[in-house]
């Protein structure tokens, strides 16, 4: 009887460990499926929009600070313009990185693909070809609670996508863009 209990506990631990290890891949699959179906509700289950918004806003502000001419920073009017540009970029990121913003982007992408006949059958009334941005990602575990997928943009620059584990669930929490 003790052997059955020990075996059951061992199988339970192995199943739980397998689920945690497969978690980022399940999250990536969920994101791919949500994008293909253009289902923002499903996408919300796999993306931590608050953490992603904070990360992308910080990257936009850092990019503006690095690209600003030092002479502009010395000028009071330049400082005001730099502040306004930073606020505009932040508002843009805050607006875009929400379930509603992503839905708008997906809707616009769908309309663009239908207008340019990038659809499943080539017919402008059929469904657009599904997006699959994580198709050729190079994946790796960085720790027990951090998983990354590396993609490459049109210029060949790496785009790092970070998944973080909270409990048993994995969510997309950061996208590191090659801004420079």
| DSSP, residue by residue, 75-106 | SHHHHHHHHHHHHHHHHHHHHHSSHHHHHHHH
Sign of the Cα pseudo-torsion (34, 151, 106, 129, in order)? negative
Domain residue spans of the chain? 2-176
Six token digits for residue 26? 């399940």
Report the range of poorest mean pLDDT among 64-68, 120-124, 154-158.
120-124
For helices 76-96 and 49-67, give the axis angle rounded to 10 degrees. 150
Compute and round to an integer the Cα radius of gyration of the chain.
21
Report the range of poorest mean pLDDT among 9-18, 93-102, 124-133, 161-170.
124-133
154 or 46, higher pLDDT: 46
Rounded Cα distance, 168 and 60, in Å:
31
Q: Is the pLDDT of residue 5 over 70?
A: yes
Rounded Cα distance, 106 and 40, in Å:
9
Mean pLDDT for all residues in the chain = 79
Rounded mean pLDDT, 155-173 = 88
Q: By percentage, how much of the chain surpasses pLDDT 90?
A: 10
CB atoms within 10 A of CB 172: 24
Confidence band, pLDDT 50/70/90 cuts, at residue 25: very high
* Residue 36 phi, psi (nearest 5): -65, -40
Confidence band, pLDDT 50/70/90 cuts, at residue 170: very high
Non-local CB neighbours of 179 within 8 Å, separated by 6+ positions: 59, 62, 63
Confidence band, pLDDT 50/70/90 cuts, at residue 128: low
39 or 103, higher pLDDT: 39
Q: Is the pLDDT of residue 143 over 80?
A: yes
């Amino acid at each position: 009887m003790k052997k059955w209990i020990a075996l059951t506990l061992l199988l339970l631990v192995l199943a739980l460990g397998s689920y945690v290890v497969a978690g980022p891949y399940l999250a990536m699959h969920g994101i791919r499926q949500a994008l293909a179906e253009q289902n923002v509700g499903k996408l919300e289950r796999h993306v931590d929009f608050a953490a992603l918004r904070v990360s992308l806003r910080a990257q936009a502000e850092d990019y503006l600070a690095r690209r600003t001419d030092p002479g502009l920073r010395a000028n009071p009017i330049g400082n005001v313009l730099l502040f306004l540009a930073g606020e505009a970029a932040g508002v843009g990121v805050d607006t875009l990185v929400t379930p509603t913003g992503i839905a708008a982007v997906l809707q616009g992408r769908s309309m663009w693909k239908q207008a340019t006949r990038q659809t499943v059958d080539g017919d402008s009334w059929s469904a657009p070809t599904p997006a699959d941005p994580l198709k050729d990602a190079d994946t790796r575990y960085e720790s027990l609670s951090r998983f990354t997928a590396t993609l490459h943009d049109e210029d060949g620059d790496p785009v790092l996508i970070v998944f973080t584990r909270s409990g048993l669930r994995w969510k997309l929490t950061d996208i590191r863009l090659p801004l420079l």
